[in-house]
Structure 1
Amino acid sequence: MKLSNRLDNIARFIPNCKCIADIGTDHGLIPIYAVLNGICDKAIASDIKKGPLQAAKKNIEYYGLLDKIELRLGSGLEVLKLGEANVIVIAGMGGYTISNLLEAEEKIAKEAEFLILQPTQHPEALRRYLVNFGFKILDEELVKDDNKYYHIIKTSKGEEPPYKNEAIYYLGLRLIEKKHYLLREYLTFNLKKLYNVSEKLDPNTQMDRYKEVHELIKGFEDVMKCL
């Protein structure tokens, strides 16, 4: 079974365990891959919509795994019991949405051994939530798939000191620490967008936004110098 680059890197972050839960499973590819490759003994695949669950069921049936992958209809982590899943995967949602799902069922989130999170946008919002609400960021990955960049965050209950440089919430401290091979390219891409935004701002009438953008530009440029 072949996964996209994004999904493959998510799967690589999942440690061997008894049970994983894939929240917002869509076509059920992560649970199928994890069970087929012996990463976990069983899995829970959930989605808030019936359509994706039906698509996931067809794929699970195709691989003969209905006895090992349980389908559940519902929102976020509310489909899980406390301690039921060793690893919880939430991928393909925005950073604010993932943060809200974790906050809504914080006990379940913190009871899991690991959370594997992949925001499609606003990774800075997700990192800020994790840092402020008792999660430790253990590892991070940056992947490029179909000409888009994706952050993958491995986290668990713990403490992560607040970042002094706002840019780190956007870029990821673990990615900076290991000087990730894609980070310079990602920085260049985002700096270009920030420069364009800056040129259109009037410091006289949009002072707060102007300062915010320029502080972020400086933070990005400082990180670039360290790579």
Structure 2
Amino acid sequence: MMKLSKRLQTIADRVTPGSRTADIGSDHALLPVYLVQSGRAPSAIAGELNTGPYQAASKAAASAGLSAVISVRQGDGLSVLQPGEADTVTIAGMGGSLMTDILEAGRLAGKLEGVRELVLQPNVGEEFVRRWLVKHGWTLTDETVLEEDGRFYEVLRAVLSPTASIENAALYEPAFLNKPETESALWANWLYRMGPHLLRNPSPVLHQKWELEIGKLERIVAQMAGSDTPDARAKEAEFRMEIAQIQEVLACTPTDKPSSN
């Protein structure tokens, strides 16, 4: 059986067993091949826009003897999918903004009809993905953060839910951060950015990711210190405030905090 990277294995583990899965931006079709080989998915669709990866995916499915159950298709985003063909859609390895563009285009075209589960791994811009899910009736049921080869990745699993508005209102309620109710909107924004499940069940990896982000921001502030222009001073103040807010959130979520779920 194909061996996956830690990142791809984390995605695979969140696909509900028995789900017909469409992997969008499949590259070499590593995930679809693994899902079918392991018996987790009875069939899969591997979608890829660019010719090189599309050919590589076709070769991978054929080499594994799975061409009959893995359909490799070339096209843009969810355009490769027909309504009702998949139970789960996985998208990984791209920015959150692009990912939401793909999801939205697919939604408007009816390509998400029949899809009940999304497993998403944005490289950056996770906030955009979380906001899209909330806006369109998806409930974030699970998220995890991992480190691999010096990079941090977040994997999000969401399900389509008729009660998503109620579930999401509770999920993004920042009361557990012990902040004043008058500042609720501010801290809710940080839940979208840092992850509501991740903050409720904090891990050392989560803290490592955001300590690294603080370090980046501090270096930017240090570089700006030599400029006396009003714009530079304003931007420096913004970055300092961002650093302070990240530190406040992390202080509210120590890694030894008992799980609230």
Match of 1:68 in 2: 69
Which of 200, 222, 225 matches 2:248?
A: 222
- Counterpart CA distance in 2 for 1:72 and 1:44 is 7
- Counterpart CA distance in 2 for 1:133 and 1:206 is 38
For residues 130-159 of structure 1, what are the alpha-carbon distances to aligned partners after superposition, in whole Å with 9 as ceiling and x for unaligned?
233432211111111111111111113333
Deviation (angstroms), 1:80: 1.1
1:91-106 matched pairs, under 5 angstroms: 91-106=92-107
**Secondary structure class of the residue paired with 2:230:** coil
Pair 1:191–1:34, CA change in 2 (3 A): same
Match of 2:218 in 1: 195
- Counterpart CA distance in 2 for 1:51 and 1:142 is 30
Q: Which has the higher contact order (CA 8 A, sep 6+)?
A: 1
Aligned length: 227
**Secondary structure class of the residue paired with 2:220:** helix
Which of 122, 126, 150 matches 1:123?
A: 126
Pair 1:49–1:212, CA change in 2 (3 A): same
1:50-65 matched pairs, under 5 angstroms: 50-65=51-66
Match of 2:38 in 1: 37
- Counterpart CA distance in 2 for 1:17 and 1:215 is 47
Whether the aligned pair in 1 keeps the contact of 2:21 and 2:90 (CA below 8 Å) is yes
1:83 aligned onto 2:80 = no
Pair 1:207–1:110, CA change in 2 (3 A): farther
**Secondary structure class of the residue paired with 1:190:** helix
- Counterpart CA distance in 2 for 1:219 and 1:60 is 47
Whether the aligned pair in 2 keeps the contact of 1:167 and 1:216 (CA below 8 Å) is no
Deviation (angstroms), 1:99: 0.5
Higher strand share: 1
Pair 1:210–1:126, CA change in 2 (3 A): farther
Q: Which range moved further: 75-84 or 202-211? A: 202-211
Equivalent position amino acid for 1:100 in 2: D
Q: CA RMSD for the aligned pairs?
A: 2.0
For residues 75-106 of structure 1, what are the alpha-carbon distances to aligned partners after superposition, in whole Å with 9 as ceiling and x for unaligned?
11121122210000001111110010011122
Identity %: 32
Q: Which range moved further: 100-109 or 39-48? A: 100-109
- Counterpart CA distance in 1 for 2:156 and 2:233 is 33
Q: Which range moved further: 212-221 or 45-54? A: 212-221
Equivalent position amino acid for 2:220 in 1: V
Whether the aligned pair in 1 keeps the contact of 2:83 and 2:113 (CA below 8 Å) is no
Pair 1:92–1:169, CA change in 2 (3 A): same
1:172 aligned onto 2:195 = yes
Deviation (angstroms), 1:61: 1.4
- Counterpart CA distance in 1 for 2:142 and 2:62 is 33
Whether the aligned pair in 2 keeps the contact of 1:26 and 1:52 (CA below 8 Å) is yes
After the TM superposition, which parts of structure 1 deviate over 4 Å for at least 4 consecutive aligned residues? Answer: none
TM-score (norm 2): 0.80
Pair 1:171–1:102, CA change in 2 (3 A): same
Equivalent position amino acid for 2:208 in 1: E
**Secondary structure class of the residue paired with 1:88:** strand
- Counterpart CA distance in 2 for 1:213 and 1:61 is 51
**Secondary structure class of the residue paired with 2:43:** strand
Pair 1:22–1:90, CA change in 2 (3 A): same
Whether the aligned pair in 1 keeps the contact of 2:84 and 2:113 (CA below 8 Å) is no
Structure 2, unaligned runs of 5 or more: 174-184, 255-261
- Counterpart CA distance in 2 for 1:136 and 1:5 is 25
